[in-house]
Amino acid sequence: MSEALIRQRVEEAVKAIGAKDIEAIMSLYAPDIVSFDVGPPLGYVGSDRKRRAWQTVFAAYAGSITYEVGDLNVTTQGELAFVHSFNNVKGTLASGRTTDLWVRWTACFRRIDGVWLVVHDHVSVPADIEHGQAVLNLTPTTDPVR
Amino acid sequence: MSEALIRQRVEEAVKAIGAKDIEAIMSLYAPDIVSFDVGPPLGYVGSDRKRRAWQTVFAAYAGSITYEVGDLNVTTQGELAFVHSFNNVKGTLASGRTTDLWVRWTACFRRIDGVWLVVHDHVSVPADIEHGQAVLNLTPTTDPVR
């Protein structure tokens, strides 16, 4: 039951991102979310900063964003849940350049007043620490988690 | 009670890393852990691969590793828990170069046969996607999550 509700929340989030619907995507997050986001800083607290982060992403793309969640794994008990997946972000930037990027996504949920909200998320790409590079060309097809 | 046990598990892991004690650090992980690690690939499954990842880290450092967990936040209910923190890795590599790196750490635990085990972890540094760079110079002091 809880797993189905969580999966529904994730589906709603995917639709919200595709439609650049800021209110819809923000309904996913707890007010005091602690976010380890794909870009700097190391972390930030609060849905206001999460809102600004999504506004920046939405503004960076000229048109709609194609967002896809793959290999979604959900673990839940009582009022807690955590999920992880590989998420694909595709679109055309304002500069005209197209992007096609896979990120790793971990989200920790709590059911607060009956609603499943993300209280912590972690989004990243792997890094080549020795050379200071972000590794942006990986896909789950070449590297499945199953 | 559960939070205290989880914090103890994390303390034990920190000591294990400092001592390069592979059996001790491996006692943290479930056999079927799904890991989104700091370096490629996007993700991998299983404690055998986690073991090889730690063996590679341990071999990369000439002496001991100084590992520190900061801003540890623990959420737990029933048999589930998730934690997040900023972790500092310091040491001297085999090449003679010293490293001082902060990573973001998220770990999801399940209590299996009475023992709290990490079933999913996510370790990363932020990325500058536009320039393809890993951002390695950030610290929680300049950027606190509290």
* pLDDT of A142 higher than 90: no
Instruction: Assess if residue B139 is contained within a domain.
Output: no
Contact A129 B136 (CB under 8 A): yes
Whether the pLDDT of residue A22 is over 80: the answer is: yes
d(CA B33, CA B26): 11
Q: Which two tokens stand for residue A60?
A: 């960076």
Please compute the mean of the pLDDT values over residues A68-78 and round it to a whole number: 97
Structural domain of residue B106, as residue ranges?
A: 2-134
Q: Would you state the structure tokens that stand for residue A23, as one six-digit string?
A: 């209110």
pLDDT of residue A71: 96
**Mean per-residue pLDDT of chain A:** 95
Q: Are A120 and A108 in contact, with CB atoms under 8 Å apart?
A: yes
Q: How much is the pLDDT for A104?
A: 98
- Which chain B residues are closer than 8 Å to A81 by Cβ? 80
Q: Within a domain: residue A141?
A: no
Helix, strand or coil for residue B2? helix
Closest among A9, A31, A24, A122 to A76, alpha carbons compared: A9
Q: What is the pLDDT of residue B141?
A: 73
Report if residue A112 sits inside a domain.
yes
pLDDT at site B142: 59
Tell me: pLDDT of A146 over 60.
no
A142: in domain: no
| Cα within 13 Å of Cα(A76), Cβ side | 20
Cα–Cα distance between B56 and B124 in angstroms, integer?
17
CATH code (residue A88)? 3.10.450.50
Tell me whether residues B127 and A127 touch, CB distance under 8 A: yes
Residue A52 to residue B33: CA distance in whole angstroms: 33
Q: Looking at the domain assignment, is residue A50 inside a domain?
A: yes
Q: Would you state the structure tokens that stand for residue A97, as one six-digit string?
A: 């350049």
**Closest chain B residue to A77 measured between Cα atoms?**
B80
Rounded Cα distance, B14 and A5, in Å: 36
Q: Is the pLDDT of residue A145 over 80?
A: no
pLDDT tens string for chain B (146 positions)? 899 999 999 999 999 999 999 999 999 999 999 999 999 999 999 999 999 999 999 999 999 999 999 999 999 999 999 999 999 999 999 889 999 999 999 999 999 999 999 999 999 999 999 999 999 999 997 555 54
Pairing status of strand A66-77 against strand B66-77: unpaired
State how far residue B128 is from chain A, nearest Cα, in angstroms: 6
Mean pLDDT for A93-105 is 93
**A17 within domain boundaries:** yes
How far is B15 from A132, CA to CA, in rounded Å? 28
Tell the residue number behind the tokens 């939405």, with chain if given.
Answer: A58
- Give contacts of B 64-103 with A, CB under 8 A: 73, 75-82, 84, 86, 101-102
DSSP character at residue A137: -
- The domain tally of chain A equals 1
- Least Cα separation, residue B67 to chain A (angstroms): 17
Model ipTM value: 0.95
In a domain, B144, yes or no: no
* pTM score: 0.96
Q: Does A110 touch chain B (CB under 8 A)?
A: yes
Concatenate the DSSP letters of all residues of B68-136 into one string: EEEEEEEEEETTEEEEEEEEEEEEEBTTS-EEEEEEEEEEEEEEETTEEEEEEEEEE--EETTTTEE--
Residue of A nearest to B36 (CA): A104
Q: State which H helix or E strand residue A68 sits in.
A: strand A66-77
Average pLDDT over residues A107-132: 97
B143 and A43: CB-CB below 8 Å?
yes
> Would you say residue A78 lies in a domain?
yes
Closest residue, chain B, to A126 (C-alpha): B39
pLDDT at site B146: 47
Answer whether the bond into residue B41 is a cis peptide, omega within 30°: yes
